[in-house]
Structures are given as structure tokens and as C-alpha cells.
Structure 1
């Protein structure tokens, strides 16, 4: 076990102690620990930047964006707790990423609701008084809680839109490696200056496409969804939806078959009494659950 003191916990201006139990994730830009806030007995995420300037820039950027989102009233991201040198402490959300969601038995209504909710949490970023572009939307960066609430995670390469303090915009522009291969929009290959809301819309389309591929729905439903996805993923940004909030209207028009149990609740259904394991085979309340959550926090750099 390792004990460290961090800066400014919960905005109190004081110091808080974090006990890092063990390392549970490692990527190209950071290591992630499952921690406990001393005196509160609450789990937290401790993210430590690896060596290198870009790793530190991404961690600092994520801290800055998360603080802005908290102050702006955005409700779909982890709460930033403290930052010190090359480390950041964040709220422990609990739950799973959609990368590990089994959608094979999901109904068409459930998928429509899921896609609509993903659009909702992304659109809320764009509709802030000073908008934010995530720039790395994918299933592994979308979490669902046990209550079925969705969250976006990994804001290391996110950008606060121009107009939010000149200094902040300048810092955003120095971040490199935004996007993940297979989800990145064409303009992300050409440089950060061309990115806009349409970049997130493209990534939403790719995310819906990947999640749809793991489902068992009718050909008619797939065809209708493909029309929406095709527009999201148009090679030219100007040919995509102009706003994320326009997508749910088209989703609503898609006809579906019989409705089943809520997908986001079913992700956390337990097996029959006595087996003591959850939907994905983990035992309830086991800290190892957290591995699935935090190992996705690193953006894959490929540009």
C-alpha cells in the first residue's frame, strides 16, 4: 500500500490523504490506481501521468476540463477531486463501460433508448454556455452505472471551445493524439485545427455502428439505423448532422419490435440466488470490477 497527500480535495483548499491500494491499469500515458479517500472510506480513482510532456499535458487538460464541467453543471462526467504534480484524483463511479456490454439479447427499443441517451450526454457537452468537444467518443469511454445512468470518461484530449479564456484555449491546442483508430473522424488525421462538433458526431456514428453489430435485431431495424449512422459518418463534416440533438429525432422515427427489460439495468442483473456472481461473472462489490472502468482512461495515440 502507498499513502500520499493530494492538493485541494473537494474544493476545500485543504489536503486530503489517499491510500492507493494497487495499480489496476496502465496505458501509454498514465497508470491508474484504485484508491481510498482517507477518513471517508470511499473509493476513488488515482491517475498518474507517465513520463513525457504529452502525458502530463493530457492529465492537466483532463483536470482542467473536468473542473470546468463540474462548475458548468454537467452531470455526466466523473467529479475531479484533487491534482498534485503528475497525479489526479477523481470520483469512483462504479459500473461498466459499454465496451463490455452484452447487447445480443437487447430489444430494438432498448437500443434506441441507449443510442438516444448517448446522444443526450454528448449533446449536453456541446450545449454548455462554453461548449466542450470530447474528441474520443467510443464504447470504452462510455460508462453505465448500476442505476442505468450513462457517463462520459477520459477527457484527456477534450477541448473547451474557443472563447473560454484565451490561456485555456492555448493549452488545449498543445494536446496531441486526439482520437482512437477506428473511431476518429477524417479531419482528425489532418490536424486539430479542423475539429468541431461534427467530429464528435462522427464518433457517435461509429460508436452506434459498433454497438449495433453486437446486437440481434431485424434487418429492417438495421437498415434504418444504417441511414442514421451513414449521415453521422459522412466523410465531409458539413454533410453530417449539424447538431447532436438532431439525431434522436431520426432515431424516434425508426420502427421497432417488442420491448424488453431495460438494457442498462440488465447489465447489472445478478444470476439466480446462491451463485453470487454478476452479469459479467464478477462477484458483487468486488474491487476488481474497477479494472474495466479505469483501464479505458488512456486515449490511444495514433496520429
Structure 2
């Protein structure tokens, strides 16, 4: 399209067939129209498509194809307002990743914009967007420098767009959407100091195509009792509560509660009560007039009584009459289901319970044992020091263990027999991993990586890492990549025929590694509690550059990806387990499982179907978790000989644990 006259030219035309104007590069335009998003010439004053006037140069939008920070290529306009614009861009470093780039062209609020970026960068929750970059730059078509914030692009639609499309939402649909918003607000309000959003409205709630909900736009958020972080509009009628209009701005969690309730009111009624802004409601009630906000049950009599009452209570002008917290508001909307029993069913239940108890007593110990979720089927003895790592062979018939005694042992675990002893490491063997059905790789405190044929016991290759003592090793499932983590960083080998290409990256001490099922994303845990996500394919041969997350206090001791690649489980020196969601190459903290283990986590693992996970700790506990809700279904406590490592069989119901007491224990897991 010609940027001057709007004529549609041939794809390869260099000049316009109608007016003769030179045509710009098809991959880049000088500026986009804020009304229709069309590509426009740098000197155009009106859009050739919609004929609307274009912004002045100081407020001019970027052109399609503009590359920011040599990394983010602008694709289209997502939104435009008084302080700037938001663009959809492609991350050229991670080709499949789309990002939202928020632009601020008002330098008077630059510091406030920076504070918003810093605030969002500290938040880790699956229902909140994450900021991954922030920078200042002067694009070639813009007369002044601008500030840019890069965050997750959340595909889908806003709640406002859904309301406009549907007219109004059903109660069940709205409550389903709001679960994620409540999760996010509870997380924000429980932070120390707490964070209050202060601008909850339908436009700031986004729903993805798969039904996930995000709370976005923290432009006027407030930390604790501090000042507003961005000096933009501090009240949004009719969603802001009365206290947000006052000069003191004394807002708190109850202010977010009011705005959330008004958002739900609008979604259920399909109308924005512009006549019922907070100041108008305050004035009406102070002068003895009726509240201009019509009760929800009058507009939607089909709504459940508890839902209508809860929303109207949260919309109280007097904030002392609202719920004590977002959590209490949530409980009023989602009451627990109570199952009632008729007299006949109650009698039947009592009799059945008695009969089951009697049968259980008669069958005795064997039935009790059979019903246990986890029970011991074998103990393997042979090592002369603590066992550091353990794994099953792909067919589940053999088990391989490594030890501080410098040996690797191959077991026929069913016969409790040692079939091979692999000797070579002069010091402790820290970790082992399978490369394929016959090859095994090991790392030790001698600083070498050794490749073995575990079936024959033959040492095939010794690879010096030159990064000090080695703590961890990971192998991609296609055996193309071999990575060792040690005291001085990473050593990476890339297979090239029968040879290896090698590169080293100085990151400090690396304690844990895990490959994503895509065989290109590597999770790295270091001694400072950080988790890095590195695209090893893109990063090979370049300076190490990868996003990281401050995860644990102390070293990240263990990492494991769920087999479908959606979750990462991390264990730390701080005795906590963290569950992370992986979305578009970024991590979002989903759950913090603290208080279950009391000392350092030594190992974490997922079962082959991802429905079960296991963790072990120096507090001598082994815990089994259901991953759908992360509840503990079994806990095993021993003596003082705590487990150092865990491994599930590739298929089946076996779990192996490596212990400080020089033994390997094989367990059978009876959980669906």
C-alpha cells in the first residue's frame, strides 16, 4: 500500500503506480496509524486508509518492522493512549516468543514508568504478566528518546471485550474467570510489603484462548502504605472506591475488593453504571437519597443469592462493611459444597464402615501392607560410602547407582545382585545420567566427565571439564548435548559425528541441571538460588545470555521438568519446593511448598505420567505428591540415614532412593 495515496500496489513495486511516490521496505513502515494500525509515511499527516489525522512527531507511533534494542521486532499495534503505546513484537533471540512492548513517550513520568517495571519484575505468579526487559532508546523515526518495558504477550481477549461480545456473562463463566484474579490478588496482598493494584476493571483482566486469566496493567499500583508508583490517573469511574478519590489516597486491600466487585457487577449485568460512581453514591447516602447503584439481584434475579450478596457487600461505600480480606470475599463467592445424607444413607454408611473395619482387622497386616501407597520391595547393599545418585535402565530391569566411594554399580535389583562395577573416578561420583540404551555418563569431584558402556563395564571416553569439582550433569534425549555443572560454571559438549565440540561458561557454582523435553531449553540452578533458562541451541557459540529468576535462599539443589514440559519443580538448600509454570520460555511461580521439609532438599523427581512427584530431604523424609493440587499423599520417615537421590522407573510403578547409609532402596508405588 502506498503510504501517501493509499493505492494498493504490486508486492515487488518500488514506486506507487498512482502517484509515483517511492515505496518503503515492505518489512518496515515509518509509523503506524493509532486508529486502524495502517502503515503510514513518515511525513504523512493523515492515514491513507482511515483518513484520520496522525499524531504529532513527539507522539508518533513506531513503524511496523522497527527493531528495538536489536532484539524486539515490532509487528503491530496493540493499544494506544495518552502516555504511550503497546506493541506486539517478536523476540529475535527466541524466535517463537511473542512479547508485548509497552512504550512511554512522556518523559515527565519516566521515573514512575521505571518504578512500574521494577515492581512487575519482582512478581512471580501464573496469573500475572512478567517483565523481562526495560530500556531507553531513540528509534530513527522518533525525535526524542523513549522508555520501553518488555513483558509477556497475553493472547486472547480482555474481559471488557468479552462483555461487549456477549452482552453479559453467566454466573458460572464469570466465577470460572475470576478464580485466577482472586489467586493473583491474594498473592499480591500477602506480599511483605503488600501490593495493591488500584485499577482493577474489565479492561485489565485478560482471558487466554485456553481459559487462563491474567491481571494486567500495574500503572497506578501501590506498595504497602507508600506512594502511588505511577502518577497516572488514580481513579477509574465507576470502578474505583470512594477512598481512592480522596486527597490522602488511603487505599488498601479493601479498595481492590471494591473494584473487583464492580467489575463482576458489570460483567453480570452487561452495563457500566456510570450514574453510580463512588462520589455520587457517597453524596446520595449522605443526603438521605437512595443509593444510585441498583442491587444486583434486581437486575439479575437468576444469580445465586450468596453471589449477589457477596458482590453487593464488597461494593459497600463504607469500607469497614466490606469483607476483611480478598480471601474472605472469595470464600463468600465459592462456598464449600456440603454433602447431605438421608437417614437411610446414613445408616448404610455406618454399617458399611463397621463391616469394612471388621474385614480389615481379619485380613490383618498383609492387607494393610498392600494398601500402602509406597512399600519397600528390596534393599541393595554393596557400596562403601553414601550413595549419591540412582537411576533405572529404560526397561526397568536394571538399576545403576553412584557413590562417594568412587564406584558406579549396575544391579539386577530383583535378584539383589551386582552385575558390574565401573571403576575410574578417583574421588566421589556425584551424578550419573543415561545417554542411550547402552551408554552412561558420570561426573565426579575429580572434575572429569566419563562415558561408559554400562552393559559391558567398559570406559569409552574421559572428558576434562576444567571447571573445578562437578556437581551435576544433564544429557538431551537425542544425545546431541552433554552439559556438566561445576564450581566455576558450565561445560557444554555438542556432538559432531563421533567427536565433541566444547565450550565453557563462567557462571559461578552450578549445582543442578535439567533438560526440558524439547531438548533445547536447559534449566540451571546455581549456588545463589537463581534458576536460569537457557536456549542451548540459540546460545551455543555466543556469550552466555539467559533470563534468570531469584528462586531459593541458598543453592538450588535439584531440578526436574514434568514430562509434558509444562512445569518445573525446584528444590533448595532453604528446605522449600517451588513449582514453576513454563510459558513462552519464561517461568511463573505457581506454588511455594514450604514447611513440608525442614532441611535441605536433596532431590526431586516426576513419575513418567507427570501425575506424581517425589522429594527427599536431609530431614530424613521422603514425600510423595499429587501434582494436580500438590497435596502430600504419603510421607516416609527413617532414622538418621536420609536419602540423597530419587528416581522413578521409566514405565511402571517403581521408585528408587539412594541413601547416606550406603544402600539403595527400591519401592513400589500404588497410586493411580
Cα distance in 1 for partners of 2:300, 2:317 equals: 27
Cα distance in 2 for partners of 1:192, 1:96 equals: 35
Cα distance in 2 for partners of 1:218, 1:158 equals: 32
Contact 1:23 1:33 in 2 (8 A): yes
Cα distance in 1 for partners of 2:268, 2:323 equals: 19
Tell me whether 108-117 or 148-157 shows the greater mean CA deviation.
108-117
Please point out which of 207, 212, 215 is paired with 1:152. Answer: 215
2:269 is the counterpart of 1:213:
yes
Cα distance in 2 for partners of 1:107, 1:205 equals: 15
Cα distance in 2 for partners of 1:111, 1:39 equals: 37
Quote the residue 2:129 is aligned against: 78
Quote the residue 1:2 is aligned against: 66
Contact 1:116 1:251 in 2 (8 A): no
Aligned length: 234
**Is the alpha carbon distance of 1:112 and 1:103 closer, same or farther for their aligned partners in structure 2, counting shifts above 3 Å?**
farther
Give a deviation string over 1:110-131, Cα, whole Å, max 9, x none: 3333334432222221122332
2:312 is the counterpart of 1:230:
yes
Q: Tell me the TM-score normalized by structure 2.
A: 0.33
Quote the residue 1:243 is aligned against: 325
Cα distance in 2 for partners of 1:81, 1:200 equals: 26
Deviation at 1:178, TM superposition (A): 2.0
Cα distance in 1 for partners of 2:183, 2:303 equals: 21
Quote the residue 1:36 is aligned against: 90
Cα distance in 1 for partners of 2:335, 2:167 equals: 23
Deviation at 1:47, TM superposition (A): 1.1
Deviation at 1:233, TM superposition (A): 1.2
**Is the alpha carbon distance of 1:66 and 1:105 closer, same or farther for their aligned partners in structure 2, counting shifts above 3 Å?**
closer
Q: Which runs of 5+ in 2 are unaligned?
A: 1-64, 137-146, 272-298, 338-672
Contact 1:221 1:254 in 2 (8 A): no
2:235 is the counterpart of 1:179:
yes
Quote the residue 2:277 is aligned against: none
Q: Which runs of 5+ in 1 are unaligned?
A: 6-15, 163-168, 256-303
Cα distance in 2 for partners of 1:181, 1:109 equals: 26
Deviation at 1:39, TM superposition (A): 2.8
Contact 1:95 1:144 in 2 (8 A): yes
Please point out which of 243, 252, 265 is paired with 1:196. Answer: 252
Tell me whether 16-25 or 127-136 shows the greater mean CA deviation.
16-25
Deviation at 1:38, TM superposition (A): 1.2
Cα distance in 2 for partners of 1:233, 1:245 equals: 16
Tell me whether 42-51 or 131-140 shows the greater mean CA deviation.
42-51
Q: Secondary structure at the match of 1:219?
A: coil
Deviation at 1:208, TM superposition (A): 0.6
**Is the alpha carbon distance of 1:112 and 1:43 closer, same or farther for their aligned partners in structure 2, counting shifts above 3 Å?**
closer
Q: Secondary structure at the match of 1:66?
A: helix
Give a deviation string over 1:237-283, Cα, whole Å, max 9, x none: 2111110001122113499xxxxxxxxxxxxxxxxxxxxxxxxxxxx
**Is the alpha carbon distance of 1:220 and 1:80 closer, same or farther for their aligned partners in structure 2, counting shifts above 3 Å?**
same
Q: Tell me the TM-score normalized by structure 1.
A: 0.69
Cα distance in 1 for partners of 2:169, 2:75 equals: 36
Larger Rg: 2
Deviation at 1:174, TM superposition (A): 6.5
Q: Secondary structure at the match of 1:135?
A: coil
Deviation at 1:134, TM superposition (A): 0.3
Tell me whether 125-134 or 202-211 shows the greater mean CA deviation.
125-134
**Is the alpha carbon distance of 1:242 and 1:103 closer, same or farther for their aligned partners in structure 2, counting shifts above 3 Å?**
farther
Structural mapping, 1:1-303, within 5 Å: 1-5=65-69, 17-41=71-95, 42-54=97-109, 56-69=110-123, 73-85=124-136, 86-101=147-162, 102-103=165-166, 107-162=170-225, 169=226, 172=228, 175-191=231-247, 193-214=249-270, 219-221=301-303, 224-253=306-335
Deviation at 1:53, TM superposition (A): 1.5
Deviation at 1:108, TM superposition (A): 3.4
**Is the alpha carbon distance of 1:252 and 1:43 closer, same or farther for their aligned partners in structure 2, counting shifts above 3 Å?**
closer
Larger relative contact order (Cα-Cα within 8 Å, sequence gap ≥ 6): 1
Cα distance in 2 for partners of 1:137, 1:24 equals: 19
Give the aligned CA root-mean-square deviation in angstroms: 2.7
Contact 1:65 1:159 in 2 (8 A): no
Give a deviation string over 1:201-234, Cα, whole Å, max 9, x none: 110110010011139x961426543321221111
Give a deviation string over 1:108-162, Cα, whole Å, max 9, x none: 3333333344322222211223321000001110111222111111011111224
Cα distance in 2 for partners of 1:232, 1:214 equals: 19
